[in-house]
Copies of this chain bind each other. A is one copy, B any other.
Amino acid sequence: MEFKNVKVIKKANVYFDGRVDSRTIIFEDGSRKTLGFMQKGEYEFGTAAPEVMEVLGGEMLIKRAQDSGFIKIKEGESFSVEGDSSFKVVVNDYADYCCSYK
């Protein structure tokens, strides 16, 4: 699977002291996605716009405001997160992901 006719910002977005990194992809219609990679660890991410997170490789456990417990998201699966909220992530090995902003 690939994105065609896009712009890629060369420099990585770096979070949690480098344990999470991502690249910003800009589409012809001006919309953006990020392709990112998480190392083993526990994280919390805030959202501004609503997001859809797709796991491309590895897996992650996630917990959003509405979740009573952690949910495992495996390769090929995705989940959505409301805007102006946050979600917790636990990665036990690594997780390759794509984040889309609605």
Please give the residue numbers on chain A whose beta carbons come within 8 Å of chain B beta carbons, in ascending order.
1-12, 14, 17-19, 21, 23, 25-26, 35, 37, 39-40, 56-58, 93-94, 96, 98
Q: Which of A8, A11, A98 has the most CB of B within 10 A?
A: A8
Knowing A6-B7, A10-B56, the reply to whether A18 touches B39 (Cβ < 8 A) is: yes
- Copies of this protein in the assembly total 2
| A2: B residues at CB distance < 8 A | 7-10, 26
In the complex, the answer to whether A56 meets B11 with C-beta atoms within 8 Å is: yes
Q: How far is the CB of A67 from chain B (nearest CB, A)?
A: 25
| A25: B residues at CB distance < 8 A | 8
In the complex, the answer to whether B12 meets A1 with C-beta atoms within 8 Å is: no
Can you list 25 A-B contacts (CB < 8 A)? Answer: A1-B9, A1-B10, A2-B9, A2-B10, A2-B26, A3-B7, A5-B7, A6-B6, A6-B8, A8-B23, A8-B35, A10-B98, A11-B57, A12-B35, A12-B56, A12-B57, A14-B57, A14-B96, A17-B94, A18-B39, A18-B40, A18-B58, A19-B39, A23-B23, A37-B37
